[in-house]
């Protein structure tokens, strides 16, 4: 176990940082700590989409680039700081589509330079991705198919219900976190709690474990996904999120939100 500040110390300026969607265990306490530290130039990879976390980091000036299938606050509407930054061309936005991000991470997981994927052909998503290729299926002919280059995040960061002291992290059904960790050079995890014993000793728990082998560091952060939810633990704080959605519509409102919730004074986290 490490203190949160030490954990996020592994995320340097300019890092290619993979993050999960709002429903999958977002390390929000760690995100606020990153903002307080003043991280700059992050290249965010949303796996495969993102919401509050990306909007907050963009608004706080921490982000140089985003690759994602979508950024939104869900039924609370658009992600305001993301939208403003993209329209002003202040961040480099790489539009993707969910399965392409999953597949590109699986390519790194498997140690291959590319993955094939159906769909995509004829879309402008493909047209604006000079890094993607269309080849003719060598097994058929007359069958165009897209090849996606592997994406290798430097860091994957997420929040999970619990871990043991050996660094095994229980992620349950949230297996997008597994591929993300397999593909990332370093995986950093915050958890609600640290449990005694070794999670691998219980076959029922083990089925939902990301093994320590892939985990570079774990920090305890109770309610670490707040104001987002953590499945099975707590729901999203909808009142708070609605207030964020409202405040973040303006730069001044966002600054006020940031001062309240991610200020350096809030060093308790």
Partner 1 sequence: MSEPGWSKAELLVAVLARMLDGLGHVAVGAASPIPGAAAFLAQARAARAMRVTVLGSESHNDFTDGGRELFDCAAQGRIDAFFLGGGQIDGQANLNLVGCGDYPDLTVRFPGSYGSAYLYFLIPRVILFREEHSARVLVPKVDFISAPGVSPPEVYRPGGPHALVTSKAVFAFERERGGFRLASVHPGIGVDEVTAQTGFAFERPAQVPTTPAPEAETLALIRGPVGAALAEVYPRFAATLRRHGEAS
Chain position carrying tokens 């993955």:
115
Encode 69-88: b = buried (16+ Cβ within 10 Å), e = exposed. Answer: bbbbbbebeebbbbbbbbee
Kindly tell me which residue out of 87, 88, 89, 113 binds a copy of itself, with binding defined by CB under 8 A: 113
Q: How far is the CB of 235 from a copy of itself (least distance, A)?
A: 14
Q: Which does 138 bind (CB under 5 to 8 A by kind): a copy of itself, partner 1, none?
A: a copy of itself
Enumerate the β-bridge partners of residue 120. Answer: none
Residue closer to a copy of itself (CB basis): 104 or 248: 104
Q: How far is the CB of 178 from partner 1 (least distance, A)?
A: 6
Which residue, 40 or 127, has its beta carbon nearer to partner 1? Answer: 127
Gap between the Cα atoms of 32 and 20, Å rounded: 16
Strands (DSSP E) contained in 31-119 are 42-46, 63-68, 92-95, 114-117
Q: What is the DSSP letter of 177?
A: H
Q: Hey, which residues between 80 and 109 contact a copy of itself (CB under 8 A)?
A: 103
DSSP string, 208-229: TEE-GGG-SEEEE-TTTTTTS-
Q: Which partner from the list a copy of itself, partner 1, none does 14 bind, CB cut-off 5 to 8 Å by kind? A: none
Identify the burial level of 118 via C-beta atoms within 10 angstroms of its C-beta, where 0-12 means exposed, 13-18 middle and 19 or more buried: exposed
Read off the tokens for 181. 């960790």
If one asks whether residue 23 binds a copy of itself (CB under 8 A), the answer comes out as no
Of residues 132 through 191, those in contact with a copy of itself by CB under 8 A are 133, 135, 137-140, 143, 145, 147, 149, 171-173
With contacts defined by CB under 8 A, name the span among 52-60, 67-75, 130-138, 216-224 that binds a copy of itself. Answer: 130-138
Residues that bind a copy of itself (CB under 8 A): 103, 110-118, 133, 135, 137-140, 143, 145, 147, 149, 171-173, 203-208, 231-232
């Amino acid at each position: 176990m490490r203190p949160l500040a030490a954990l996020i110390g592994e995320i340097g300026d300019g890092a290619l940082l993979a993050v999960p969607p709002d429903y999958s265990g977002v390390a929000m306490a760690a995100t606020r700590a990153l903002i307080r530290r003043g991280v700059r130039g992050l290249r965010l990879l949303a796996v495969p989409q993102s919401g509050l976390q990306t909007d907050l980091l963009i608004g706080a000036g921490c982000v140089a680039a985003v690759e994602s299938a979508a950024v939104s606050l869900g039924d609370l509407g658009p992600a305001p700081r993301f939208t403003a930054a993209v329209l002003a061309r202040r961040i480099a936005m790489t539009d993707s589509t969910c399965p392409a991000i999953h597949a590109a991470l699986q390519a790194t997981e498997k140690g291959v330079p590319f993955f094939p994927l159906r769909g995509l052909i004829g879309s402008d998503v493909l047209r604006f991705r000079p890094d993607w290729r269309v080849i003719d299926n060598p097994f058929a002919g007359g069958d165009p198919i897209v090849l996606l280059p592997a994406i290798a995040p430097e860091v994957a960061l997420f929040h999970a219900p619990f871990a043991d002291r050996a660094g095994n992290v229980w992620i349950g059904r949230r297996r997008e976190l597994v591929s993300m960790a397999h593909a990332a050079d370093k995986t950093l995890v915050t958890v609600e709690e640290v449990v005694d014993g070794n999670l691998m000793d219980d076959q029922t728990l083990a089925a939902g474990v990301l093994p320590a082998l892939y985990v570079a560091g774990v920090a305890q952060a109770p309610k670490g996904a707040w104001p987002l939810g953590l499945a099975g633990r707590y729901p999203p704080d909808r009142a708070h999120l609605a207030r964020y959605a409202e405040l973040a519509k303006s730069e001044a409102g966002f600054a006020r939100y940031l001062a309240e919730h991610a200020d350096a004074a809030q060093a308790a986290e």
